[in-house]
Structure 1
Amino acid sequence: MGRNLHIKSQEKSKKPIKNGFIRLISGKWRGKKLPVKDKEGLRPTTDRTKETLFNWLMHDIRDANCLDCFSGSGSLAFEALSRFAKQAILLERDKQVAQQLRNNLKSLDVDNASVIEIDSLNYLQQIAGEQFDIVFIDPPFSKGLVQPCCSALEKNGYLAPKALIYIEREVQLSDLELPINWQLLKEKTTGQVSYQLYLRDE
């Protein structure tokens, strides 16, 4: 296979991709391809999963303030922006990956999103300066990141009163203790990946 490998060919295996691209599936940038870096743990959400997620969010994404906690390829944040989210903050600790995200924002002429190059859990330990309507949590698998991320979001004030929280995780991670005011709205499992949408009750 050539180096410019389409991500769709990697969807079933969920293995780290070669330098390739993600594709935006709907909205103002529908069909647009954005380059991504080959990095360990980088596991872009598949087109099928994105379609399910954004069908769940179709009535909420427009004008939403979004936080992408483990941005990686930026697949979720860029899809949200394509569907007219008000703003997106992308957290990414890898320097090269963060720079690729900035390049992609620039190529789309985006002025309502920013990349913060930082360890996500360190960022979320700070008291929030703003609240978010939609939060994406899709960390590298088997790193124990979901639980502390969810706890910090709730504890430090990052969530709007009726925030929606999306979690994508490995199927084996079954013992999460989420905040008691998070209500499960939607859930689906595909292969070794499980994903849920929660509503934060006030």
Structure 2
Amino acid sequence: MRDTFVPSIWSPSSSPGNRLLNSLRIIGGEWRRGVLRFPDAPGLRPTPDSVRETLFNWLGQDLSGLSCLDLFAGSGALGFEAASRGATRVVLVDRSPKVVAALADNASRLGAGKRVEIVRSDAVRFISTVGFRFDVLFLDPPFHQGWIDRLLPLMTDVLVEDGVIYAEAETVLESCGAWQTVRQGRTGRVFYHLMRRGEADGAE
């Protein structure tokens, strides 16, 4: 998937892996133009600027008071964009040690404080044990591994009644359990969706 990257940056000794990292910029909110650095990792597929812009037009630019879960955080672009737009609590989950280290480094450099929590965990294990429900779920798993099907039975345990799901997938998704696609689009081979409880409607 094509993304708009700023040039790769050599990480300082305190950064994860002390190696060349990929980078992209936050596009809106308090941290607009802030740089996120992230390593190469299997299945890591940053959401392009144009798609992030569409997503936050759908969700609204001001997420004040909302809690967000970025379940396959990767670069952290979606979670940090949400925090930049005022989300009160953002939890970034990834199972890769080097990805988690990069996320923590980004949170520190941005001065995210307690608004952003970084968790190293398997997605299913995290949802099964978190004990907290979120307003927004960002669901952008590695493709062709069946992650969404595995997570479907757990959706009601992690989202509030009127919570929304943003999902990226290799095929069109009509629903995730009780959540129906209300907005959708496509970029390259990636289909992206906004889902709410209720009837399906529309495309972007």
For the aligned pair, the TM-score class normalised by the smaller chain equals 0.7 to 0.9
**Which of 154, 165, 184 is the equivalent residue of 2:181?**
184
| Equivalent residue runs for 1:1-202 within 5 Å | 7-8=3-4, 19-58=21-60, 61-111=63-113, 112-126=115-129, 128-154=130-156, 157-171=157-171, 174=172, 178-179=176-177, 181-200=178-197
Cα 1:58–1:81 change in 2 (3 A) is same
Q: Secondary structure at the match of 2:4?
A: helix
Gaps of 5+ in 1: 1-5, 11-17
Paired residue type of 2:82: A
RMSD of the alignment, in Å? 2.1
CA contact (8 A) 1:151 1:178 kept: no
Cα 1:20–1:89 change in 2 (3 A) is same
Shift of 1:60: 6.4
CA contact (8 A) 1:89 1:114 kept: yes
Gaps of 5+ in 2: 7-19, 199-204
* TM-score (norm: length of structure 2): 0.83
CA contact (8 A) 2:64 2:86 kept: yes
Q: How many residues align?
A: 183
Query: Which residue pairs with 1:14 in the alignment?
Result: none
Aligned equivalents of 1:184, 1:81: Cα separation in 2? 24
Paired residue type of 2:68: C
